[in-house]
Chain A
Amino acid sequence: MLKTCVITTAIMAFISFTPDNGLVGRWETKPSVNGNVTGVVFKADNTYEAYVNKKPFVSGRYQIKDSLITIKEIGCQDYVGTYKLVFFSNSDSLRLVPVSDSCQQRREGMARTILGRVKKA
């Protein structure tokens, strides 16, 4: 009984330290006209990896406060961008609405991107 209690407590402790913001996991766009798929993996350690057609192209760190996500990545001269997280379709779709981002390329790319949650098989 004591053993079970310890295990349960440990699991609960682990869960409470794991970010549960609905964002952690793999997200991808639908294929574009040319068949290109853009995706991003938000990891529990507040880092992310973005890719196109399974080709990684940028890594970075993110922070979430309320419904805002702030991202900082290598490659856009360390520019910081802040976006509003908008979940929809039972939280399986996501839009990142630009709030501020001095990286024009990223802001424009994000503004037209809708991501769908990739569910594990």
Chain B
Amino acid sequence: MKKYVIIIIVTFAIGSMGSGFQKDSMTRAELGKLLFFDPILSKNRTISCASCHRPEFAFADTSATSVGDDGKRGKRNTPSAMNVLLQHTFFWDGRAKTLEQQALAPIENPVEMNLPINDAIARLRDNKKYQDYFRQLFGKEPDSANLALVIAAFERTLETSESPFDKWKFEEDELAVSEEVKNGFVIFGTKGKCIQCHFGPNFTQHEFRNIGLFNGADLNDSGRALITHKTEDVGKFKTPGLRNTALTAPYMHNGQFKTLNDVIEFYNDPGKIVPNAINRDTLLAKPLGLTAKEKSDLEAFLVALTDKRFSKK
């Protein structure tokens, strides 16, 4: 009897080891993840999506603008690639309407991965591993459509909903956050006016707003207007979500603010920081007049939007 038990245990052990070592099939998201971290999709084979969308920083970057192929830099800050499931448009100017459209753009962008899509596809077709995975998943070899599908599928898995704030509100745990955080949430929704734009499950209404970082001189990125060609859209950028925002510094489309405190100081009195802004949103017409305590509580609330996966172990 004992012998049979040992045989069964050993059989189970070998079986489970086998499933861990040999992966016969994978999901679209798993393949997308492989590619997201693989520099094969950049011209010089040194940059992957994850080079700028760094997992430890909520899939954002830590510099104002990220370094791309051959040391080149773009002119906009790398947004977090997390919590994109509910987004309506992508990029700061909203030029992509689907995550699939978004997924391919950085590969071709000369200041990012700088690899024409046809060349990227050729590389994947020459790679036996990827050739096999795409055939298993789609019944055909890699092409631009299924490449976009898998990368987008991976990005859709990057949802976070386990921050202290979520624990407080969703799980009704009153002890999950401090009184400062609770007060900060009140400021967020009232005197701070933040909720007027940062409303929703990811703290954005997905609108395009001119917050006063366009002056036609040193701040001359026209933003949304480059896509719509409408004068009224000059200086407008997509309102980013705020989940995990404590990890995604620096802030704004050009990464000009290094800390959350800088951001709060800006919104408290935008004209003081950028006095010559053109067409700043009327919501920001007057200084907010936040006290030091209110600013500090507001920052505590923003920090409480950090998912538990980023908690220091």
Contact surface of A with B, Cβ cutoff 8 Å = 34, 36, 41, 43, 49, 51-59, 74-75
Contact = CB atoms under 8 A, between A and B. Distances in A.
A43 B243 CA distance: 25
A74 B195 contact: yes
A58 B185 CA distance: 11
A36 B189 contact: no
Given A49-B172, A53-B159, A74-B195, 7 more contacts: A34-B85, A49-B169, A54-B170, A55-B170, A56-B169, A57-B199, A57-B200
19 contacts: A36-B85, A43-B172, A51-B170, A52-B86, A53-B85, A53-B86, A53-B159, A54-B170, A55-B201, A55-B202, A55-B243, A56-B169, A57-B200, A58-B199, A59-B169, A74-B189, A74-B195, A75-B189, A75-B195
B170 A53 contact: no
Interface in B216-273: 243
Nearest to B83: A55
Interface in B181-209: 189-190, 195, 199-202
Nearest to A52: B201
Given A41-B172, A74-B195, A55 B161 contact: yes
Contacts of B86: 36, 52-53
Contacts of A58: 199
Contacts of A36: 85-86
B166 interface: yes
A12 to B, nearest CB: 26
B154 to A, nearest CB: 15
A24 to B, nearest CB: 13
B235 to A, nearest CB: 24
A55 B166 contact: yes
B311 to A, nearest CB: 18
Interface residues of B, number: 17
Contacts of A57: 199-201
A49 B85 CA distance: 21
A74 B196 CA distance: 10
Given A34-B85, A41-B172, A75-B195, A56 B189 contact: no
Contacts of B199: 57-58, 75
A95 to B, nearest CB: 22
A56 B201 contact: yes
B97 to A, nearest CB: 15
Nearest to A58: B199
Which of B86, B161, B169, B243 has the largest number of chain A CB atoms within 10 A? B169
Nearest to A39: B170
Contacts of B201: 51-53, 55-57
Contacts of A49: 169-170, 172
B165 interface: yes
